[in-house]
Amino acid sequence: MTRGKFITLEGPEGAGKSTQAAMLISKLEARGLEVLYSREPGGTPMGEAVRGILQYNTAGEAPCPESEVLLFEASRAQLVRHVLLPALERGAWVVCDRFADSTTAYQGFGRGFPVETIEQLNHFAIGPAVPDMTLILDVNVTLGLQRCAKRQHGGKAQYDRIESEALDFHERVRQGYLALARLNPTRYRVIDAMRPADLVAADLWQTVSSAFFP
Ligand code: T5A
């Protein structure tokens, strides 16, 4: 059985990753492929519990920055072993809404942990589940946060723990993604996500189809 392809969607808050994941999956399924959607943090019972701790302090306290890194990695390790690798090995394609590059961007570039340390932890957590393609949906941080606010609370901003970080944190995250893309243009593709969703989807499909269905 040929291993399926693994595509990850990344980007700052409100870039439109979930919206684009749904549109991409429809197009892949229309080609007769089995496609699995997953998201991070989450995607397993343990990962969803960790998501609550990370976003909404459901353990009753906020994780310290070091715990935050390790909780993201723990959620990821579980998702990889219990869901992603079995799917890829049976030939399914996987579209994941955030993955290891989020930890590099948010905890590395955003929080300021050494990027090499984060990449070692990512490597330990993901093992052989290296994405075949990572689509970075690039959006201006102010526009992205405005989109999140509208979606969640009818225009009234009320953000989760990480969305509530200062604008300069989110700007470092955005610039971190763009730096990753410059270092490895083979795996990463940057898509301008500041346009209407259907234009972003068309660009994204052109990128995916020209790589995998030439
Ligand atoms: N995190 C995560 C880390 O710090 N480290 C890690 O290792 C990992 C894995 C996850 C949080 O955890 C952090 C990053 C995050 O802060 P989450 O709830 O999963 O949080 O949130 P995000 O992945 O950030 O998703 P967002 O809430 O930012 O949204 P999306 O998925 O990017 O965007 P989407 O599709 O939900 O769209 C948001 C709104 O914008 C509209 C949509 O209709 C929706 O209302 N929209 C557009 N509007 C105009 N034009 C477009 N092109 C639009 N596309 C979407």
Per DSSP, the residues of 129-156 read: ---SEEEEEE--HHHHHHHHHHHHHTT-
Query: Residue 76 corresponds to which tokens in the numbers above?
Result: 């990821």
**Measured from the CB, is residue 15 less than 6 Å from ligand 1?**
yes
Other CB atoms within a 10 A radius of the CB of residue 186 amount to 7
User: In angstroms, how far is the first alpha carbon of the chain from the final one?
Assistant: 21
Fold of 6-212: Rossmann fold (3.40.50)
CB 46 within 8 A of CB 134: no
pLDDT tens, position by position, 33-68: 999 999 999 999 999 999 999 999 999 999 999 999
CB 6 within 8 A of CB 94: yes
**Measured from the CB, is residue 18 less than 6 Å from ligand 1?**
yes
Q: Mean pLDDT by 10-residue block, N- to C-terminus, for the chain (214 residues)? A: 96 98 98 97 96 93 97 98 98 98 98 98 98 98 92 63 95 98 97 98 98 96
Nearest-atom index, ligand 1, CA of 194: 52
14 Cα: distance to centroid of ligand 1 (angstroms): 4
Closest CA to 209 of 114, 133, 152: 133
11 Cα: distance to centroid of ligand 1 (angstroms): 8
CA distances from 7 to 46, 72, 88, 92 (A): 22, 19, 11, 11
Prediction pTM value = 0.97
Per-residue pLDDT at 151: 73
Per-residue pLDDT at 153: 55
Closest CA to 70 of 99, 45, 49, 50: 50
